[in-house]
Amino acid sequence: MKKKENIYCFLTILTIILILTSISIIKVYKKNKPIEVFSSTTNLSKRRYYKKEYQERYENYKEKNPNLEDDKIIIYVNIGLDNPFYTNTQKSPRQNTKEVLVNKYYYLDKDYIPKDLTLIDEKYQSGNRKMVKEAALKFNEMARSAKEAGYNIRAISTYRSFDYQNNLYTRYSQIDGSKKADTYSARPGYSEHQTGLAVDVDNFITNYTNFGSTNEFGWMKNNAYKFGFILRYTKENEFITGYLNEPWHYRYVGVGIATKMKQENISSYEEFYFKYLD
């Protein structure tokens, strides 16, 4: 009886040793084998936005986010989300077009001033607000259309120069510290307002920070895209943009892009950009 127990004990130990050895062999193998991207069932290389040179970054990101779909892994890494905000920064692509991308990875130079800055109709703004001509005209159209439906939209901040943004960000950082300021204010060069394509709005009455609870916000949700404007910073895309929800901040991208984003339910301009424009 005793002997039989000893044999069982021996077998159990042997099994454990075998399992542990095979695990470590697999680990070593995994480390040394060339990086293979994801499951063989997904043919990633056929996707337009897949970048061969990012293969290792995709793998690393996948390892950190095992539950994320492969498609999202690719887009997020292309956006740059595997690096912290304000690292690996580059000059904004597509400058002086309505597709320009400005965020915490892509910046505009100090002397970047958009062409054709045009005043918005005085009925729909306060403080001589200017946007790139096409955006300004579309904003007028949008505000007029809102007005006809009984809603009042007003531009309260549009184009801001590098220096203006620098003062703003410096002031906020002094008040709140830079870590907190970064969640609601862009560092100079990284503000979408410098493109002349961004606009902060209110409804003439309520403070702009409460725009999300106004009827005008509801109207914008259903209609802004028809005039080429998208809501830029939402709760849903906070992890992509690095900004807290801003119901008052809209970005002109043109009717084509805004409509496509709406149809495909794409939550951030970054995702759209790296899917279709990169």
Cβ-based neighbour number of residue 2 at 10 Å: 5
Burial (CB < 10 A; 0-12, 13-18, 19+), residue 236, is exposed
Q: How far is the CB of 192 from Zn ion (least distance, A)?
A: 7
Q: Does 154 bind Zn ion (CB under 5 A)?
A: no
Q: Are 198 and 232 a contacting pair, CB within 8 Å?
A: yes
216 binds Zn ion (CB under 5 A): no
Run of H or E including 130:
strand 130-132
Amino acid identity, position 32: N
In this complex, which beta carbon is closest to Zn ion, that of residue 200 or of residue 216?
200
Min dist. Cβ of residue 259 to Zn ion (A):
22
Q: Which is nearer to Zn ion, 76 or 248 (CB)?
A: 248
Interior angle at CA 243, CA 277 and CA 229, nearest 5: 50
187 is a site residue for Zn ion (CB under 5 A): no
* Minimum distance, C-beta of residue 186 to Zn ion, in the bound complex (Å): 8
Q: Please give the Cα distance from 241 to 268 (Å, whole number).
A: 8
Question: Stretches 36-44, 88-96, 210-218, 247-255: which one binds Zn ion (CB under 5 A)?
Answer: 247-255
Binding mask 192-211 for Zn ion (x = CB under 5 A): --------x-----------
* Residue 160 engages Zn ion in binding (rule: CB under 5 A): no
Please, what is the minimum distance in Å from the beta carbon of residue 270 to Zn ion?
Answer: 16
Other CB atoms within a 10 A radius of the CB of residue 173 amount to: 16
Where does this chain bind Zn ion (CB under 5 A)? 200, 249
